[in-house]
A and B are shown apart, each in its own frame.
Chain A
Amino acid sequence: MRKALLFTCAAALLAGTACAPIEPWVKPYEREHLADPIMSLTPNPVSAAYIDHVYEVREGAKGATGGGGGGCGCN
């Protein structure tokens, strides 16, 4: 009985912790560097789409590039 009570309390404690709001560890005022345009993951979408497709038609693999498109011949 005591073990069950301890287990219930521990589970409740864990659940409470899990549900607590997560404090952002990088505050909004600390994101100056991340907001710099050189940190953009896709600063030039047209160019990125094009070069991804150049790779795609020359290689067997594709996908998970987070972007893509463009075009070139492959025959």
Chain B
Amino acid sequence: MRRQSPLLALAGLLLAAAAQGAQLPEERADLLYHRYSGGGITVEGPSVLVRKNFGDSFSATANYYVDAITSASVDVVVSGASEYKERRDQKSLALDYLHGKSTWSASYVESAENDYKAGTWSLGVSQDMFGDLTTVSFGYSQGHDRIRRTIQDQLTGEKFVDPDFQRSIDRRNYRVGVTQVLTRNLLLSLNFETVTEEGYLQNPYRFRRFCVPFCDASTPADSWSTQGEIFPATRTGNAGSGRLKYYLPWRAALDGSYRFYSDTWGIRAHTAGIEYTQPMWGRWVLSGSYRYYSQNSADFFSDLFPFEEAQNFMVRDKEASALKSHTVGIGAAYEFPITWTSWLKRGSVNLSLTHMMIDYSQFRDLRDYPPGSVTPGSEPLYSLDANVIQFYLSLWF
């Protein structure tokens, strides 16, 4: 079970995203292999995207995406569960309609795995104005997730979906964006998005930790125990971002971005990134990037609560902990013309390597510290390194 439904909304945004400018996007096909490895989790699989235009006004995009997951993450290990494998399939379809200087878009994305199903539809419109120097876009998405839980038979060890556990989430995304040509070498992009969620917003496999019998600043506990987390049933988050992309005189591009995020759970986050793109040797394009992310914790997060029923909401998700991350990436693309067939124009082969380093400021690593082994709260803080590989072929036709 994964927090994947925001991704559905975002995938919808991508697919329904209005074209930059009042013209249909290029027809293309992409075949991607992705692999994420870190923190005891490996996720890999293909993604296939095809975009085809019909006449001068219509464009359709279809995407099929697979995650094959093997997980023995810190959460899985500490819960006492064994490594698990699962698969998620995601399908999406989007349509764009170009009319004058407007592009209207609609899309639907659905995702399925054994204990989680989600569907999201999106609508969007963009309008070019002021001599095509400005593109304004608006969008709306609505999603519904159905959440189940896999449990294990204590006698046989067999895993099955709990028939008595069914929850749901309703989600709405509202977004507005502006892309502005500032000079003949400089582009500005501004985006704002509000996401509202209501329902079962937690992960049924995670837990909160509390002192046994109790603890406070002057009284350490001997041991700790766990129970399920208790999340609020609603969340509203606002994100605003700005991005500048500059064309350098020697034919290279410099891209800088910043995003601020704030939500009703008390999380505030800053994201800053920079990327440099350099064409080389005629057909190669090389790139390098750095990204910094930092957030504070949710108001109701604690790695260790003083006793079992310490407060109304009790959360120990590491994603709700204060954390900082640094990410570096390099990429290389080889572009080539296609002359041996008339229905393909050109192609490119791309390899992208990304390394993430995440340090959690409050979430502790309990894997080697079972209850009673050390004073609760003295365990080391958790950190995570991950490598992401993307290898893909793109064809334009």
Interface size class of A (residues with CB under 8 A): 35 or more
**In the complex with contacts A56-B6, A64-B193, A34-B187 CB distance below 8 A:** yes
Whole-angstrom distance from the CB of A25 to the nearest CB of chain B? 7
Mask, A43-56, CB within 8 Å of B = 1, is 01111111111111
Partner among B13, B131, B279 whose Cβ is within 8 Å of the Cβ of A24: B131
CB pair B36 A64 closer than 8 Å: no
- Asked whether A16 is an interface residue with its Cβ less than 8 Å from the other chain, the reply is no
Give the chain B neighbours of A71 by CB distance below 8 A. Answer: 2, 4, 7, 43, 65, 67, 88, 90, 111
CB pair B14 A49 closer than 8 Å: yes
Partner among B34, B181, B239, B350 whose Cβ is within 8 Å of the Cβ of A61: B239
Mask, B1-41, CB within 8 Å of A = 1, is 11110111111111101001000000000101010100001
- Asked whether B189 is an interface residue with its Cβ less than 8 Å from the other chain, the reply is yes
**In the complex with contacts A61-B295, A68-B13, A73-B67 CB distance below 8 A:** yes
Give the chain A neighbours of B4 by CB distance below 8 A. Answer: 53, 57, 71
- Asked whether B184 is an interface residue with its Cβ less than 8 Å from the other chain, the reply is yes
Which residues, 16 to 41 on A, are CB-close (under 8 Å) to B?
A: 22-26, 28, 30-34, 36, 38-41
The interface centre, meaning the residue of B12, B271, B320 with most chain A CB atoms within 10 A of its CB, is B271
Partner among A23, A36, A59, A68 whose Cβ is within 8 Å of the Cβ of B10: A68
CB pair A69 B394 closer than 8 Å: no
Mask, B263-279, CB within 8 Å of A = 1, is 10101010100000101
CB pair A38 B277 closer than 8 Å: yes
Known: A40-B20, A72-B36. 19 other contacts (CB 8 A): A28-B132, A38-B252, A38-B285, A41-B189, A47-B390, A49-B11, A50-B34, A56-B10, A58-B386, A59-B323, A64-B193, A66-B243, A68-B9, A69-B8, A69-B11, A70-B7, A75-B1, A75-B76, A75-B203
Between-chain CB contacts (< 8 Å), 8 pairs:
A58-B325, A60-B298, A60-B320, A63-B175, A63-B239, A71-B2, A73-B67, A75-B1
- Where the two chains meet, the residues of B that have a C-beta atom closer than 8 Å to any C-beta of A are 1-4, 6-15, 17, 20, 30, 32, 34, 36, 41, 43, 47, 49, 63, 65, 67, 69, 71, 73, 75-76, 86, 88, 90, 92, 109, 111, 130-133, 173, 175, 177, 179, 181, 183-185, 187, 189, 191-195, 203, 205-206, 237-241, 243, 245, 247, 251-253, 259, 261, 263, 265, 267, 269, 271, 277, 279, 285, 291, 293, 295, 298, 319-320, 323, 325, 327, 350, 352, 354, 356, 358, 384, 386, 388, 390, 392, 394
